[in-house]
A and B are shown apart, each in its own frame.
Chain A
Amino acid sequence: MGDGRKSETTRRRFMAGASGVVAAGFVTLRPAQATPESMTAAIRQVTGEAKVQPGKVKLDVPPLVENGSTVSLTVSVDGPMTAANYCKSIHVFNEKNPQPNVAAFHFGPRTGRARVSTRIRLADTQTVVAIARMSDGSLWSAKAEVIVTLAACVEEL
């Protein structure tokens, strides 16, 4: 998804520059990519108007990745998971994929540890955001910059 999509986007931008009228037809074919604004909107869907504080949640993602189609990611909130106090969920967002949502993970006291490792897709160099919701309703955030390098010899079919 990384490289193929990128070249489409570049071509679309070129078309847009060359002729607004022709470009309009192309633009409607594909959704606009997510933006920092659409990421903020997606985050608001989860948090509502509640205050989100930086901290508590950890987001581990390599700063430089070989291929945006498979990016290792670990999110976690340290601390015990008790019935009285636990991490309810961690939500992951990005700003430049076609869609701002990446994943949401839901926990309970029986999860034992609020920590998930997975693999995600990043279409381009961008910021990834994680938001954690605790059982007391508090919201915490972390963010990371990821550089997605462009491969030289991509497969052409």
Chain B
Amino acid sequence: MTVGLKRLAPLAVLLAFAAIAAHAEIPLNERRAGTADLAPETKAMQDDDSANPGMLVVLDGEALWKAKAGAANQACADCHTDARASMKGVAARHPAFDARLGRPVNIEQRINMCRVERQQATPFAYESKELLALSAFVGNQSRGEPIAPPADERLTPFRNAGRDDYFRRQGQLNLSCAQCHDDNWGKRLAGSLIPQAHPTGYPLYRLEWQAVGSLQRRLRNCLVGMRAEAYDYGAPEYVALELYLMWRARGLTVEIPAVRP
């Protein structure tokens, strides 16, 4: 009996290790943004501002940044002045903890909070032209900066919730995010390369969308693909996932607005 258990012990250790290995995160030195695997034409499109359609949206965002809005008749620029200085690195640090709400907010939510509280204007709808434009403009100020999630203890439970969601099998296909993006990145699903899913460039221009869209639009896309129920835009579940994904992509370079197939 004891001998049997002793014999089984290495197997148990091995199984436990296998379980961990299956859930192992991609080592930091093996992390790669989707840019690394773009077709040369798509890469050229991302690299050249005069060829990147995402820059049209950034330009729209710049106009909005300077436009007075709401009952307060204030422009973003009236408080934050030159976005090149004031917004540098901001997108690289979001989602960030908002003490008053007691939860993390992403960049779109931060923009809308400013809009409602400071400008006394109506918030922009998710995926609206305006919100995409402003978040692309603000995000573009962090281009070239490393993704730097804040070392804020208050974020930990939310990030852990996002992580749990990332590893949770769900939907009619019973898939987790990790099964594609941790365990099978670099392989192909039909004609598409499975990326590591680092959100380095959102909002980004997707050839398939023929438009700029947010990270939440992409997450929704994935969930629907897994035949799982997608959350509503702005749902805390998405923000938690964003938080985990940004932590997972820490150190990679912000490339807003990126271009992806």
Contact = CB atoms under 8 A, between A and B. Distances in A.
B190 A150 contact: yes
A151 B210 contact: no
Contacts of A151: 190-192, 208, 261
B222 interface: yes
Given A70-B207, A154-B208, A62 B41 contact: yes
For the side of the interface on B, what is the size category?
10 to 19
For the side of the interface on A, what is the size category?
10 to 19
Interface of A: 3, 62, 65-67, 69-70, 72, 149-156
B192 A152 contact: yes
Interface string B177-200: 000000000000111100000000
B152 to A, nearest CB: 33
B225 A153 contact: yes
Listed residue (B41, B44, B45) with the most chain A CB atoms within 10 angstroms of its CB: B41
Given A62-B40, A66-B192, A155-B209, 19 more contacts: A62-B41, A65-B39, A66-B39, A66-B42, A66-B207, A66-B261, A67-B261, A72-B41, A72-B45, A149-B190, A149-B192, A150-B190, A151-B190, A151-B191, A153-B192, A153-B222, A153-B225, A156-B224, A156-B225
B81 interface: no
A152 B208 contact: no
Ranked 5 nearest A-B pairs via Cβ: A149-B191, A152-B189, A66-B261, A152-B190, A67-B207
Listed residue (A70, A150, A154) with the most chain B CB atoms within 10 angstroms of its CB: A70
Contacts of B73: none
A153 B189 contact: yes
A156 B221 CA distance: 7
Nearest to A117: B51
Contacts of B44: 72
B186 to A, nearest CB: 14
A151 B42 CA distance: 15
B41 A153 contact: no
6 contacts: A67-B208, A69-B210, A149-B191, A152-B189, A152-B191, A153-B189
B170 to A, nearest CB: 15
A66 B46 CA distance: 15
B141 to A, nearest CB: 26
